[in-house]
């Protein structure tokens, strides 16, 4: 009887040792909460890793080519007869006259000799740079006799800002001596005489004749030639051929002012690289419309000189010019 009780008591004690002790309710809840939180953190980290992998995949994946909208092309024009072209050309001239009633040569001068010299200097540079250079030059040598007697190195230094100063010095000394020796120190008023002077071609001769002597002439510079081709007045590249083609379209009385208007338009609106087609008043008459910027707001930003609110090229513009005079050349900085 005693053994049985003792056995049961030992068994009961052993079972009690193997069973986990009962924990308080608060501790159980805290453990459960901790497990849930840990699971949520793990889930969130997994989601972040998945998102990062997707982002990396997007970055490394080849991008699909972006399809560009086709560029707008100028509307096709019907073949134009000679008569229709002449009428359109003359209308362009009339509209340019309304747009630039103040058109003028953009070189500062007070007499034929100054204009001749300034035109020779304008090769391969801007009229503005010439206008900034000639005041000092004419202060030293105002006549052909004075210039012909100049020391070449001194003359080179005076005209250096215009570029190609050695070749231009040679031309200026040669033409000044020719004016002194063959024409009594006066600039001749005939084309055939002017083109015999060193450094003087048809373009320079026509500038001098038209603006110093009132003799009509067509000045074919880079701007005039470019616009004459864009307007469909000629297909020629040679300056003399362009001059001949345009001369057949317009009356002689219009030649000089036509030259100024076309050059003005080429410098202000119809630029070489990026014409401002969207701001061009004669766009409806131009076969080349669409070669440049056609958006009106963007095109306005391309306008130059007085149309763009900037100074012109002349330090002393003629009366009626609506733009600002150009500033004189800044004095050279003294070496320290």
Contact 265, 273 (CB under 8 A): no
Chain mean position to CA 262: 18
- Shortest CA distance to 91 belongs to which of 325, 336, 295, 285? 285
| Burial of 2: CB neighbours in 10 Å, binned 0-12, 13-18, 19+ | exposed
Please, are residues 112 and 212 in contact by the beta-carbon 8 Å criterion?
yes
- Is 300 a known active-site residue? no
Closest CA to 180 of 136, 134, 138, 146: 146
Structure tokens at 297: 């707001």
Q: 221 an active-site residue? A: yes
Residue among 193, 221, 300, 304 flagged as catalytic? 221
Question: What are the percentages of helix, strand and coil residues in the chain, rounded to 5?
Answer: 60, 0, 40
Q: How many residues does the chain have?
A: 336
The torsion defined by the Cα of 303, 305, 310 and 314, in degrees rounded to 10, comes to 170
Q: Which residues are catalytic?
A: 203, 221
């Amino acid at each position: 009887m005693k053994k049985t009780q003792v056995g049961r008591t030992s068994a009961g004690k052993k079972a009690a040792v193997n069973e986990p002790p009962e924990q308080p309710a608060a501790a159980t809840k805290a453990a459960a909460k901790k497990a849930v939180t840990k699971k949520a953190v793990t889930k969130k980290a997994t989601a972040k890793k998945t998102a990062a992998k997707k982002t990396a995949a997007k970055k490394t994946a080849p991008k699909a080519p972006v399809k560009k909208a086709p560029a707008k092309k100028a509307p096709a024009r019907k073949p134009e007869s000679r008569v229709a072209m002449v009428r359109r050309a003359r209308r362009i001239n009339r509209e340019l006259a309304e747009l630039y009633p103040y058109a003028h040569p953009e070189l500062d001068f007070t007499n034929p000799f100054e204009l001749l010299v300034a035109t020779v200097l304008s090769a391969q540079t801007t009229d503005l740079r010439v206008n900034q250079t000639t005041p000092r030059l004419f202060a030293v040598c105002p006549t052909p006799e004075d210039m012909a007697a100049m020391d070449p190195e001194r003359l080179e230094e005076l005209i250096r800002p215009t570029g190609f100063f050695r070749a231009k010095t040679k031309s200026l000394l040669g033409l000044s001596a020719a004016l002194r020796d063959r024409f009594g120190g006066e600039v001749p008023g005939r084309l055939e005489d002017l083109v015999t002077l060193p450094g003087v071609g048809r373009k320079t001769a026509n500038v001098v004749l038209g603006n110093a002597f009132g003799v009509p002439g067509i000045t074919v510079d880079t701007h005039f030639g470019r616009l004459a081709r864009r307007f469909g007045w000629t297909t020629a590249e040679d300056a003399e051929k362009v001059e001949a083609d345009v001369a057949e379209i317009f009356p002689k009385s219009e030649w000089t002012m036509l030259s100024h208007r076309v050059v003005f338009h080429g410098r202000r609106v119809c630029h070489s690289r990026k014409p401002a087609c969207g701001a061009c008043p004669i766009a409806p008459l131009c076969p080349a419309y669409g070669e440049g910027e056609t958006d009106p707001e963007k095109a306005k930003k391309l306008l130059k000189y007085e149309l763009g609110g900037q100074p012109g090229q002349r330090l002393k513009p003629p009366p009626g010019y609506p733009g600002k005079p150009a500033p004189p050349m800044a004095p050279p900085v003294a070496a320290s």
